[in-house]
Amino acid sequence: MARPLARSLAPLTEESLPGLILRLAHRLERSPARIAELCGLNGHQNRLSAHYLMALPDDLTQAFAISSHLHTDEVRTLTLSCFASAYPPLGSVRLDGSRNTAAARKMWAAGLSRSYCPACLAGDGSTVQNLYGGPWRLRWHLPVSFACTAHHRLLARSCPQCDGTPNQPANTERQGLITQRTTSGLHPAQCRHLATSDGAGQRRPAAMCAARLDRPQAAAILSGCDLRQLIALQARIDRHLLPGPHSLTVTGPGPDPGFFPDLIAAAQLIRLAWPESARFAPSALLAELIDRHLASAAEQRAALAPGQHARHTWAAPTDPLECGALLVTADCLLGENASDDSGLVERVQPLAVAAFTRHPANIGAALRRMDFSPHLARALAPRLNGFYRAGGHRPAVRVPSRHSTFSIDHVPARSFPRSGSSPTSAPF
Ligand SMILES: [Zn+2]
Ligand SMILES: [Zn+2]
């Protein structure tokens, strides 16, 4: 039975569950594992389950709320479940164990390891953040987070001292909610990687890297124009993730359930149709970054043993800069007016042709798993159905011609009707 902790902390805005546990551990001078135990979160074999990042079961939500002096609603905002309705890829994933983690990455759902903004971790100057650090933000676990709009910078991926990725174990330790969870005495913003050698090359297997991740770091080399474009897209993504009172006015458009599926499907198409798709990259440097990402993905595939599955083929780029470059290019492909079908068809069809002729074997399976809006489905459909016929499968996407009146019967299976194109608002 969980008992209230002697002292607790109110969650910071957008703080994640592992982030709050790290701050509680620092405040109470205990290890994160001990805090989890005191809060009733220790599960089977004393593990701190990675799945808790997605959602806490009701009994554990209750226990954690009692221990940490919080309301159960506050506890629920610490897990990715609060993005589930806004971010469709989160819908069906589990994050528990390396296989599920790889599957979650493939679906563009979420990752246990995370990018971070050093300035956010440094805190906002308030007393509580000066003492216990700023927030590890929940949305940094989503692959569509690549920049911090508050600090106008790209997220950092790794520790500047040891190059380790936060919460990505370098050894055989199973990836859980918090890496090296039994280690106490670290600030929440300190690197929890084991440093295997010191500067002189001597092995020091037990020492922590412990570098502070909340110190100023060199910013990515981008032109002001590229950076502005990446930040603008991130701001739009954030508005879709966290629809607040400012983004959803009574008269304005409602949340667009096709936004993320289309953005992700367009990003996959950009990769499959590279280099023909390079012309949609807003600058030569951004195209070069996508090129770099594709080259390293190809290297990873080449290094696979026969029979091993290429898990990373569809995963979002792990580097925030490369991911931002890919998404901003995908956004240019989709164009500003998603309902302008003829423009979209003109842009998408040549890429679909390039993608289908180059990757006939796996593209159908991959696209079958993907969700997208009727607009993108229409732009892709002739190629998709052509492929399915060629491959001997029945067409999986039923799409009306652009001239027909749109009804719910025409929405392809597993895709989302865009706001404004629902049957109730269609001009019958
Ligand atoms: Zn920031
Ligand atoms: Zn480090």
Question: Ligand 2: distance of its center to the CA of 194 in Å?
Answer: 8
**Whole-number Å distance between alpha carbons of 151 and 156:** 12
- Give per-residue burial for 359-395: e unless 16+ CB within 10 Å, then b: eeeebbebbeebbbbbbbbbbbbebbbebbeeeeeee
Would you give per-residue pLDDT tens digits along the chain (428 residues)?
A: 678 998 999 999 999 999 999 999 999 999 999 999 999 997 666 678 888 998 999 999 999 999 999 999 999 999 999 998 899 988 867 665 556 666 777 788 888 888 999 999 999 999 999 999 999 999 999 999 999 999 999 999 999 999 998 888 776 667 788 988 999 999 999 999 987 655 555 555 568 899 999 999 987 789 999 999 999 999 999 999 986 654 444 444 556 888 999 999 999 999 999 999 999 999 999 999 999 999 988 887 777 766 665 555 678 899 999 999 999 999 999 998 766 678 898 999 899 888 878 776 666 666 666 778 888 888 887 655 554 444 334 444 444 444 333 333 333 444 444 444 333 333 32
Give DSSP secondary structure letters for 163-178.
-PPTT--SSSPPP-SS
Strand partners, 203: 197
Note the residue count of the chain.
428
Note the pLDDT tens digit of each residue in 375-415.
888 888 765 555 444 433 444 444 444 433 333 333 344 44
**Whole-number Å distance between alpha carbons of 331 and 404:** 27
Cβ neighbours for 133, distance < 8 A, ≥ 6 positions apart:
22, 23, 26, 121, 122, 123, 187, 188, 189, 214
Question: Ligand 2: distance of its center to the CA of 164 in Å?
Answer: 5
The closest ligand to the CA of 159 turns out to be: 2
Cβ neighbours for 245, distance < 8 A, ≥ 6 positions apart:
none
Question: Ligand 1: distance of its center to the CA of 230 in Å?
Answer: 14
The closest ligand to the CA of 170 turns out to be: 2
Question: Ligand 2: distance of its center to the CA of 211 in Å?
Answer: 5
**Whole-number Å distance between alpha carbons of 69 and 10:** 8
**Whole-number Å distance between alpha carbons of 42 and 408:** 46
